[in-house]
Amino acid sequence: MRHVAALAGVGIKTVSRVMNDEPGVSESTRLRVLGASQQLNYQLDMAAGSLRRTGRQTLSIGLLLPSVSNPFSGEIHRALEDALAERGIAVFAASLDDDPQREKALVSAFLGRRVDGLVLTPIAKSQAYVIPEHSRDLPMVFIDREPVGIDADAVVTDNAVGAATAASHLLAHGHRKLAYLGDRTEIQTARERRRGFIEELGRAGLATSAVPVREGLHDEESARLAALELLASDDPPTAIFSSQNLVTFGVMRALKELGASKRVALVGFDDFTLADMMEPGITVIAQHPERIGKLAAERLLARIDGDRTAPATYVVPSELILRGSGEIPPS
């Protein structure tokens, strides 16, 4: 900036005024400064600026996702980015990989970079460790799962309701022998989905203790094996609910292997590309990651703008999408 000032023959403060579009600079000096800055290819240093600037904003936020390569996370990321880009806010994104220690380390890395806010998918057992920052009014929105040990904004899918919808859909198609295949129970959303599914069966008068529940499935292969085992039992289910994409894929593989794709009903939680191109099409409870991202961005911006209302949890409804696999009648 000094060089620009020298070249334009003005004080550095005047350069600062021009670069920030502040009033009180005559048109002629403005042009002179602009010319000099272009000639030197000068660009304002945002970090240095926010050091002194009142409010001290860095116009950047931190985003913690299960993995940036996960399509669901990608959609959230994209929606957030779009909402924040309008305000010139850049996004630091990082992957957690189900590692609670990484969660803390990354939060710390973002804090050290003085982000204006944090959007995070909680992984660790408790998020109490960010209480100091939260109390200091660092804007913070949790997504996908509600945080534990801290009262903060959260944006989540109606997991239990969605799973219950799946259950009642299968019941309505005449199924009485249903099975639940789910992810690890440490994951809050997995627990919620199971609860919603089982409770709905209970409301319909089914002996829920007799409903096969297979949990702890975190990849395609374990889900495939669990489904094969279930379907090979004496009294196999006529309908399966899978609580997550990878589990759904595993079940699909098992059904295909057994040639049972058109005989056993399947409803999966989470939509996925080409679900409608499968044979049959896969009926799903779709989440709306783009709405989650958008809503999270809105909440975060509101907090950044000084909203001090009590934290709340915002629920984004899921949606049942009929494609065939969920409408197969019991055999």
Partner DNA sequence: ATTGTGCCTGACAACGATGTCATGACTCAT
Partner DNA sequence: ATGAGTCATGACATCGTTGTCAGGCACAAT
Interaction site with DNA (CB under 7 A): 1-2, 9-14, 16-17, 19-20, 23-26, 28-30, 43-45, 48-49, 51-54
Which one of its own copies, DNA, none is in contact with 16 (Cβ closer than 5 to 8 A by kind)?
DNA
Q: Which residues of 225-249 are buried (b: 16+ CB within 10 A; e: fewer)?
A: ebbbebbeeeebbbbbbbbbbbbbb
Structure tokens that stand for 193 in this block: 């989905």
- Percentages helix, strand, coil for the chain (3-state, rounded to 5) are 45, 15, 40
**Tokens 């985003």 -> residue:** 63
CA distance 133 to 117: 10
**First CA to last CA distance, the chain:** 77
Smallest gap from residue 17 Cβ to DNA (A): 7
Q: Which two tokens stand for residue 212?
A: 């096969």
Question: Binding its own copies by CB under 8 A: which of 29, 70, 188, 208?
Answer: 70
Tokens at 45, concatenated:
């240093």
Cα separation, 84 vs 74, in Å, equals 15
- Whichever of 44 and 210 has its CB closer to DNA, that residue is 44
Out of 26, 55, 86, 274, name the contact with its own copies by CB under 8 A. 274
Evaluated on CA atoms 158, 97, 91, 81, the torsion sign reads negative
Rounded distance, CA 155 to CA 153, Å? 7
Q: Binding its own copies by CB under 8 A: which of 110, 180, 197, 269?
A: 110
Binding region for its own copies (CB under 8 A) out of 23-31, 82-90, 192-200, 209-217: 82-90
Binding mask 10-49 for its own copies (x = CB under 8 A): -------------------------------x-xxxxxx-
Pick the binder of its own copies from 99, 279, 307, 319 (CB under 8 A): 279
The single residue among 277, 306, 309, 310 that binds its own copies, judged by CB under 8 A, is: 277
The item of DNA, its own copies, none sharing an interface with residue 75, based on CB under 5 to 8 Å by kind, is its own copies
Residue 302 token pair: 């509101």
Site string for its own copies, 233-252 (x = CB under 8 A): ----------------x--x
| Inter-residue contact 114 to 57 (CB < 8 Å) | no
Q: Which residues lie near its own copies (CB under 8 A)? A: 41, 43-48, 50-51, 58, 60, 67-71, 73-75, 77-78, 81-82, 85, 88, 90-95, 108-114, 132-133, 249, 252-253, 256, 272-274, 277-279
